[in-house]
Structure 1
Amino acid sequence: MARDDALSQAMLRILERVTGPNTRSRGRWSVTEQLQSNGTELFRGVTGVAPNVPGYWIEVTERIMDDLDYTSEKKLKGVVLLLRDEANLWWLTVKESTQADCLSWEFFKSVVQGEYVGASYIDGRRREFLNLTQRDRSVAEYEAKFLRLSHYGRGMVASKYERCARFKDSLRDNLKVLIAPQKKLELFVLVEKAKITEEVKHAEHQNRDRERGRNKRDSEPSNSVQRLKKKVRTDGSVRAGSPVAPTGLHLCRDCGRHHQGECLSRTRACLRCGSPEHHIRDCPLRDDQVQALGSGTAQLQRVVRQPPRGYHQSRGGNGMG
């Protein structure tokens, strides 16, 4: 038992050495150090800076102090400690000419906006808030911009219900219709509902894409088979089917062949070459010679009308016998 107590005491001493310095260090931090360690910046005035810098600085600083749970009194103290040079001299002048009970965080913001933030800038941010919609932003991105711009539209969202209603109405339609309206609803609860709904819709979209891709892959083999069958059918009809007549030729009822013009069987000419000087059985041309010369009858006649030398002598007549 004593041994366990000694071990516990040793562990406590180790923990004190590890955590003690950090705890004391955090306790000694000034407000300025705490703010700057969380991302706030010093403000020196408007000399040499863009016109929107003062408004942006006050927005960011207030957001950080809200995250740190600063009271209004501590916010005023902290933000004054961030002023330097021109801005610090300006605040000293304002402070001297203002009653002490009027010095507050809201007063500071109003005089900063009046001195450094132009009316056109404030009106622009108010219009931006009025026209703000989610569009292609995520819910988290839309929430951040909504909260930042809502400072310029306090009259439009004075109550919690108005803030929630405006946030919901500016969501995308596919999210808005899935969030049931409620009279009593905190903004952070509405934001969480919107984020969950967004995740569900995103998952459904991914599932549809995967299913569509799977169906496409499953259908590709059958399409390939159909294309192959169609090709085989087309090739087979050319090879094994009836001979296809050349363009412009018709089937002759007299000879059963395809040709143009009057049938040679009626003129008693050669059905192979078209010559009137002999019949097909006495034609000096073979089938392959006729094909090589071409299918035009007039061309064949010009070739055949000059028969080989001595042909008539060998037949002893004109070859019509």
Structure 2
Amino acid sequence: MRPPSFSGAEGPLAAEEFLKVTETILTVTRIAPAEWVDLMDIQLTDTARIWWTAEKAHLERPILWETFTDRFNRKYFPQSARDELLRRFVELKQGGRTVDEYEAEFSSLSRFAPHLVTDPTIRRHQFQKGLDKYIRAGRQ
């Protein structure tokens, strides 16, 4: 298994995906969590590697994975990006796409609005609200 790399230029969703995939690979390969942070020297490239080299110089050793992910998210997946994805979810419209295409984006963005999707009734309402009018009319 080849772990992903991250340069810092990919954007917030790519940062989130980088951490998810990395954690999955490290878990299934049974690498000790105490060694996870050290592997970031290999996986981070370009500006992300420069950032991490400077960042870790200030941190007490050993650096915990939770510390790394907290700092990484503050830098590459900040609250402002999460807020923007929440806004995109709330304002999501089908916009002429197929229902399947709309549903795929709805599902992808829904993880940023758990309070709007955990209840099936609220989730259904949120989904229907974004459907094109002619489809919405046919579903009622």
TM-score by length of 1: 0.29
Pick aligned residue for 1:93 from 26, 40, 63: 63
Structure number with greater CO (CA < 8 Å, separation at least 6) is 2
Residues 67-111 of structure 1: CA deviation (Å, up to 9, x unaligned):
xxxxxxx79824997995336898x822487xxxxxxxxxx7x77
Residues 218-244 of structure 1: CA deviation (Å, up to 9, x unaligned):
xxxxxxxxxxxxxxxxxxxxxxxxxxx
Residues 255-313 of structure 1: CA deviation (Å, up to 9, x unaligned):
xxxxxxxxxxxxxxxxxxxxxxxxxxxxxxxxxxxxxxxxxxxxxxxxxxxxxxxxxxx
* Counterpart check, 1:151 vs 2:105: no
Cα distance 1:51–1:128, how it changes in 2: closer, same or farther (>3 A)?
A: same
Structure 1 unaligned regions, length at least 5: 1-31, 37-41, 62-73, 98-107, 181-321
Cα distance 1:152–1:57, how it changes in 2: closer, same or farther (>3 A)?
A: same
Bigger Rg over Cα: 1
AA paired with 2:103? E
Question: How many angstroms apart in 1 are the aligned matches of 2:26 and 2:72?
Answer: 12
Cα distance 1:148–1:57, how it changes in 2: closer, same or farther (>3 A)?
A: farther
Identical aligned residues as a percent: 20
In the alignment, which residue of structure 2 is the partner of 1:43? 4
CA RMSD of aligned residues (A): 3.9
Question: How many angstroms apart in 1 are the aligned matches of 2:26 and 2:120?
Answer: 25
CA apart distance, 1:163: 1.2
In the alignment, which residue of structure 2 is the partner of 1:170? 130
Structure with greater proportional helix content = 2
Equivalent positions of 1:1-321 (< 5 A) are 32=1, 42-45=3-6, 47-52=7-12, 53-57=14-18, 61=21, 77-78=27-28, 84-86=39-41, 93-95=63-65, 113-114=73-74, 116-180=76-140
Question: How many angstroms apart in 2 are the aligned matches of 1:164 and 1:177?
Answer: 15
Cα distance 1:48–1:133, how it changes in 2: closer, same or farther (>3 A)?
A: closer
Secondary structure at 1:93's aligned position in 2?
coil
Cα distance 1:56–1:43, how it changes in 2: closer, same or farther (>3 A)?
A: same
TM-score by length of 2: 0.60
Secondary structure at 1:177's aligned position in 2?
helix
Cα distance 1:161–1:78, how it changes in 2: closer, same or farther (>3 A)?
A: farther
Secondary structure at 2:138's aligned position in 1?
coil
AA paired with 1:77? T
